[in-house]
Chains A and B, each alone.
Chain A
Amino acid sequence: MSNAIQLLRLITAGSVDDGKSTLIGRLLHDSKSIFEDQLSAIAKTSEKRGMAAVDLSLLTDGLQAEREQGITIDVAYRYFATPKRKFIIGDTPGHEQYTRNMVTAASTANLAIILVDARKGVLTQTRRHTYLASLVGVPHIVLAVNKMDMVDYTEETFNAICAEYRAFAAQLGIHDVTCIPMSALNGDMVVEHGDNLSWYKGAPLLELLENIVIDYDVNTTDFRYPVQWVCRPQTQEHHDFRGFSGRIESGDVAVGDEITVLPSGRSSKVKEIVTYDGRLQRAYAPQSVTLTLEDEIDISRGDMFVKAGAIPQVAKEFEATLCWLAESPLDLNRKYIIKHTTRMVKCLFSHLEYRVDVNTLAHHAASALNMNDIARVAMKVQQPLVLDHYGKNHSTGSFIVIDEATNNTVAAGMVA
């Protein structure tokens, strides 16, 4: 994969006061991803607001609806590229509803940048952001110690903050943490190293983002293939063609491999791996392909192909960590719908084990679940699901909960 340009998805967590918008603006500006018409628009606004220099934080400024109502829409996506990688930034502004917003943005991220103000160090919100990143299993964490210019760029201040943060991250089982001292305002350690932090020997943020290894962020060992679509052309040319289209969520598959179809448990062998660009001998996650099998067995959307030796659990009762996203609280007497991979089933929440205080990480007994609450729950589903532990496989360990009456997405779940 060495010469290919890869895609890296990242999120930034922190409040406006930590200089988050300035950091994103700086990253876009210094990597030359801002265009003249965008720059002239924010220059105009900066001038209107009586600012001496162009305020890069205005680049992440919101919509009319947000300005009028003083609200922030949960996630905005921004794109930039360097010759080495393409980047998608999931930007989650605002203090309120932070749990919901951050969990949403973090669910697809390879990396989280957690900002702290060098004057304030590790705060409750820093711990909360880090806990949420670890909950959703973001593989790489960067602690950006910003506003180093406000503490005279002192190494001791930076080292103390890093030591405290690393100790906390270790408690959560986070292993890949990089701490970078920074002044987003002055551009130190964002794209260029700058002259003010010569004592710091690590790479600037952008260099780290370009080079961090993400090949192993997906599970490369356990083959999981949820059937999305049964492809039956029924034309003369392809009269007997019956293909099972889907995306390889993890692992790989080759022609001749023996596969098991779950939940039925029937087996067959892969006859062909069909793509528009030709037939393949082997395909890997996250490729979208169409498989044909040697045997005619009854298969439909929602079934999952797996390989012997790496069999997931097939269950109607299981435990999960739930993040409640909706304004209306969880109703334990109601049935909800869950969507897991390509399968939709009815479910009941049979028991709330505990609620997690995202600030202290303490467990509390719970009788209700409100927006932004995180809880361990026991649940029952109408049809069996093919599940992996979320920590082992994000695709087969995650699900969303849908309110049947409103069709809203009310919760995100992770198989525990």
Chain B
Amino acid sequence: MKLVENKDMSSHTFTHLDALESESIHIMREVAAECKNPALLFSGGKDSIVMLRLAEKAFRPAKFPFPLVHIDTEHNFPEVIACRDKLAADLGERLIVRSLEDSIKRGSIVIKDPDKPRNPYQSVTLLETIAEFGFDACMGGARRDEEKARAKERIFSFRDEFGQWDPKNQRPELWDVYNTRVHAGENIRVFPISNWTEMDIWEYIAREKLYIPEIYYAHPREVIRRGNSVIPVSHLVQPKPGEKVEVLSVRFRTVGDMTCTAPVESTARDAREIIEETATTRITERGATRMDDQTSEASMELRKKEGYF
């Protein structure tokens, strides 16, 4: 929490990253000032790590006026969970972890196949956690360039008592005057990095020298090929008869549920090299890596209506 003394930035040029950063800081401060009991959803993934840096910029030298919350599917990459815990500890901020296993024990989630992707169930535990702590606002690191349902969602996205998003009944959002008002039991999801793209995130990680899980960088990994996807071998995903295990140099563009997050072949070893690869890639971020989004054209839209962030 130390402040650098007397750094003169008066000749500083205001870039697109500065503009996006200032917008995000403004949004986070609005949430802190107007919501009674907000939280910041933090998974240890790259977008939420950018969110942490933005929160530092918004609130230091004070502590964050909200806790960090992670809804753990227990299908996460161990490197990501380690990074989550390290960053929360380094910052000295409070981290609340709630697991899908808790909901399964309670009986509010019934899982048919324990090895199948768990993203659809995340909403249940998220809503239970919101109720447990009485959060009236949850900030998340979703971006509008990720997916077309997100492209149409507000920065301050109102959810009813059931956590549902109603795409055709959204509050108009004008200028940057945000309406944060909710009745008891309702809440809003806030997306401070709505206007950032995948490229902006990588440029920011490079500029701010952010520590992110090492699996974002190229590394050798055992994988199997299924259809057009390369799937990482793990305790949850083992080769089926006839499938061959290969070792490839890969990196992850997103780090979600291990059973449905595919890496891309890459040799990029740092953020700068990833920026170069991102500039020339011809596949969208989720298109390349999220098998659960490819099941139907409206997967994300449906999950959001059920309370997903």
Q: Residue on B with the closest CB to A282?
A: B10
What are 20 pairs between A and B in contact, CB < 8 Å?
A5-B16, A6-B14, A7-B19, A7-B20, A35-B283, A37-B287, A66-B167, A73-B168, A74-B172, A75-B152, A79-B145, A107-B174, A108-B175, A233-B63, A235-B1, A277-B9, A288-B22, A288-B26, A342-B33, A400-B177
The B interface, classified by DSSP as helix, strand, loop or mixed, is loop
Interface residues in A1-16 by Cβ distance below 8 A to B read 1, 3-7
A400 with B174: CB separation less than 8 A: yes
Interface residues in B11-62 by Cβ distance below 8 A to A read 13-16, 18-23, 25-26, 29-30, 32-33, 56-62
Mark interface residues in A40-71 (1 if CB within 8 Å of B CB, else 0): 01000000000000000000001111100101
B200 with A86: CB separation less than 8 A: yes
Q: Which of A237, A241, A274, A278 has the most CB of B within 10 A?
A: A278
B7 with A277: CB separation less than 8 A: yes
Chain B residues in 8 Å Cβ range of A124: none
Q: B219 to nearest A CB, angstroms?
A: 24
B26 with A4: CB separation less than 8 A: no
Contact (A279, B174) CB under 8 Å given A288-B26, A407-B179: no
Q: A71 to B170: give the CA distance in the assembly, Å.
A: 13
Chain B residues in 8 Å Cβ range of A73: 152, 167-168, 170
Q: A379 to nearest B CB, angstroms?
A: 16
- Point out the residue from A3, A287, A342 that lies within 8 Å of B18, measured CB to CB: A287
A402 with B179: CB separation less than 8 A: yes
Contact (A233, B61) CB under 8 Å given A78-B151, A339-B177: yes
* Band of interface residues on B: 35 or more
- Point out the residue from A85, A339, A399, A412 that lies within 8 Å of B172, measured CB to CB: A412
A228 with B30: CB separation less than 8 A: yes
Mark interface residues in A104-137 (1 if CB within 8 Å of B CB, else 0): 1001100000000000000000000000000000
Q: B273 to nearest A CB, angstroms?
A: 18
Chain B residues in 8 Å Cβ range of A287: 14, 18, 22
Contact (A408, B171) CB under 8 Å given A63-B149, A247-B25, A278-B9: yes
Chain B residues in 8 Å Cβ range of A86: 16, 197, 200
Q: Which of B10, B177, B195 has the most CB of A within 10 A?
A: B177
Q: A25 to nearest B CB, angstroms?
A: 14
Mark interface residues in A260-295 (1 if CB within 8 Å of B CB, else 0): 000000000000001111111110101110000000
Q: B178 to nearest A CB, angstroms?
A: 8
Chain B residues in 8 Å Cβ range of A339: 177-179
Contact (A407, B181) CB under 8 Å given A73-B170, A79-B144, A103-B174: yes
B57 with A288: CB separation less than 8 A: yes
Chain A residues in 8 Å Cβ range of B16: 4-7, 85-86
A88 with B14: CB separation less than 8 A: no
Chain B residues in 8 Å Cβ range of A108: 174-176
A286 with B22: CB separation less than 8 A: yes
- Point out the residue from A81, A85, A398 that lies within 8 Å of B177, measured CB to CB: A398
A20 within 8 Å of B (CB atoms): no
6 closest A-B pairs by beta carbon, nearest first, are A278-B7, A37-B287, A278-B4, A233-B62, A64-B298, A288-B25
Q: A97 to nearest B CB, angstroms?
A: 10
Q: Which of B7, B26, B172 has the most CB of A within 10 A?
A: B172
Contact (A104, B174) CB under 8 Å given A71-B168, A233-B63: yes
B276 within 8 Å of A (CB atoms): no
Q: A270 to nearest B CB, angstroms?
A: 14
A200 within 8 Å of B (CB atoms): no
Q: Residue on A with the closest CB to B297?
A: A64
Q: Residue on B with the closest CB to A231?
A: B62
Chain B residues in 8 Å Cβ range of A85: 16
Besides A107-B174, A279-B7, 5 other A-B contacts (C-beta < 8 A): A88-B195, A245-B29, A247-B26, A274-B3, A398-B175
Chain B residues in 8 Å Cβ range of A41: 297
Q: A284 to B11: give the CA distance in the assembly, Å.
A: 11
A35 with B1: CB separation less than 8 A: no
Mark interface residues in A86-112 (1 if CB within 8 Å of B CB, else 0): 101000000000001001100110000
Q: B13 to nearest A CB, angstroms?
A: 4
Chain A residues in 8 Å Cβ range of B32: 229
Contact (A77, B283) CB under 8 Å given A274-B3, A278-B9: no
Q: B232 to nearest A CB, angstroms?
A: 20
B173 within 8 Å of A (CB atoms): yes
A76 within 8 Å of B (CB atoms): yes
A1 with B144: CB separation less than 8 A: no
Q: A39 to B288: give the CA distance in the assembly, Å.
A: 14
Chain A residues in 8 Å Cβ range of B173: 104, 409
A241 with B5: CB separation less than 8 A: no
Chain A residues in 8 Å Cβ range of B238: none
Q: Which of A232, A247, A402 has the most CB of B within 10 A?
A: A247
A355 within 8 Å of B (CB atoms): no
Q: A77 to B194: give the CA distance in the assembly, Å.
A: 9
A395 within 8 Å of B (CB atoms): yes
Q: A215 to nearest B CB, angstroms?
A: 9
A370 within 8 Å of B (CB atoms): no
Q: A235 to B56: give the CA distance in the assembly, Å.
A: 16
Q: A12 to nearest B CB, angstroms?
A: 14
A38 within 8 Å of B (CB atoms): yes
Mark interface residues in A283-319 (1 if CB within 8 Å of B CB, else 0): 0101110000000000001000000000000000000
Q: Residue on A with the closest CB to B8?
A: A281
Q: A9 to nearest B CB, angstroms?
A: 9
Chain B residues in 8 Å Cβ range of A341: 177
B269 within 8 Å of A (CB atoms): no
Q: Which of B6, B15, B174, B194 has the most CB of A within 10 A?
A: B174
A394 within 8 Å of B (CB atoms): yes
B148 within 8 Å of A (CB atoms): yes
Q: A81 to B32: give the CA distance in the assembly, Å.
A: 32
B111 within 8 Å of A (CB atoms): no
